[in-house]
Chains A and B, each alone.
Chain A
């Protein structure tokens, strides 16, 4: 899994000992545009294995576009154009001829929850089934574990056979998280995962995320600056398609910043 060519480049404010030396994601000069309109401009950064990497920034700053590019979602977004290179585990994602295999290793949660029109159980068993798991007992185990981690198990354990698309908004959001976890991903991309979830449940999920980063790497896009502070090891600040600053989360929140705009945003003076 760890490849040879990540020569421990400690750039972008990495704080060494916390992470494995080899970055899992290397982003080089990434630019994204929609129908010629630029959403993200020349972003270069590394994301390290087993860290939680936070991305903050006001609306329209390119955070979501960044996540989409990591999963090669330009394939199903008309007009989305990606330039530059993204490597995961040292391999350029465009070199995956089988893009489905790539996506199956990356769990994604977007702010609008999508409960597939299948039962709750089948929603979570979908990805394991794609991986070829057939045994009911094994599926049961995955479904329970993922729903528990997404803090949904207690609410739905009695009605696993009802439709996922008929759950409440917040429940569907957690169902989406459970589904992403059921992929047993190496990389988890979260975009505003808590937007429809109450604060108490959000805290429970955040605790799970902290545990999970022992197994995987998490990229967390959030509008809640405090959420980034609670969770992220390092945080990047995006503004109007530009990567303004990247650094250890503590440093950013304690005012050790290079750019005035970062402090301005974190302290709520604009955004």
Chain B
């Protein structure tokens, strides 16, 4: 007989309920994001102008723009990238493609995951001790950038390793069986098919670097510099630190200006993430299996 039993009906009700709960949770997740972005746009939007983006702050931060901070953030991100990507990708390649599955490898993997969980202030203090004093880099873009690199290294490694592992093992075996070495296999088959994931990981890392305050506070960020940095050995202003400073340290800063800084910062991060998603979509279109 084609009628629903009581058990059928009960499973159907449970299923509807589960779906509703999960949907509500998803909505609850989106609401705070909308509120934050909305507030920033409403309160900070009016501050955005050519002058705001392309001049230095004036009158004890109470007027003027954010150019030195914007440029400084770009410097920091570039230094952090150049330091962490080669090291991170190489380490991930070793761990994923070469390392034997033994206690040491598992310990290293575990350590990397834990490293990703270390609070950024701890990285900051490490950076002060190691780069600023021990390597005598003083407070500089180099010291701050390297501190950011150390902090983001685990993210790069984990993201890279995961995208490498997403390439089916059968492809590797097929290559090895033809006598290809591990490196030939990586270069011809594994990397071309994991590059989208690796790029995504790298860009996500960049956006995180742009937003961090603690690691650069003691290693290279300055509250106010009227000029732009000329080399990696200069101190610099940075967006995240500028936001912290105008919001809590400087007095009589117009609210609109602080919100403007926050809006620009979040716009940078969102733009980077959007680029990353764009990359991923584009490269996935080229995916070959």
Contact = CB atoms under 8 A, between A and B. Distances in A.
Interface in A12-31: none
A116 B179 contact: no
Contacts of A130: 178-180, 184
Contacts of B174: 114, 116, 176, 179
Interface string B151-190: 0000000000000000000111111111111001000110
A116 B177 contact: no
Interface in B249-289: 287-289
B242 to A, nearest CB: 46
A126 B188 contact: yes
Nearest to B189: A116
A127 interface: yes
Contacts of A115: 289
- Taking residues whose C-beta sits less than 8 angstroms from the other chain, chain B's interface range is 20 to 34
A165 B178 CA distance: 17
A117 B101 contact: no
B193 interface: yes
A244 B121 CA distance: 68
Interface residues of A, number: 30
A116 B181 contact: no
B189 A103 contact: no
A144 B205 CA distance: 46
Most buried by B among A71, A116, A118: A116
A105 B179 CA distance: 8
Nearest to B289: A165
Most buried by A among B177, B180, B288: B177
Nearest to B174: A114
Nearest to B181: A100
Contact of A78 (B101, B179, B193): B101
Most buried by B among A71, A103, A104, A114: A114
A117 B177 contact: no
B174 to A, nearest CB: 4
Contacts of A71: 177
Contacts of A176: 174
Nearest to A105: B179
Interface string A104-128: 1111100010111110000000110
Interface in B89-103: 101
Contact of B172 (A76, A105, A165): A76
A113 to B, nearest CB: 9
A118 B179 contact: no
Interface string B192-225: 1100000000000000000000000000000000
Contacts of A108: 177
Contacts of B180: 100, 126, 130
B105 to A, nearest CB: 12
B168 to A, nearest CB: 8
Most buried by B among A76, A102, A183: A76
A165 B101 CA distance: 29
A101 interface: yes
A117 B178 contact: no
Closest 9 CB pairs of A and B: A104-B179, A117-B288, A165-B289, A114-B174, A103-B179, A108-B177, A127-B178, A114-B170, A100-B179
Given A103-B177, A116-B171, A117-B189, 14 more contacts: A71-B177, A101-B179, A102-B179, A103-B176, A106-B177, A114-B171, A117-B192, A117-B193, A117-B287, A117-B289, A127-B179, A130-B178, A130-B184, A180-B178
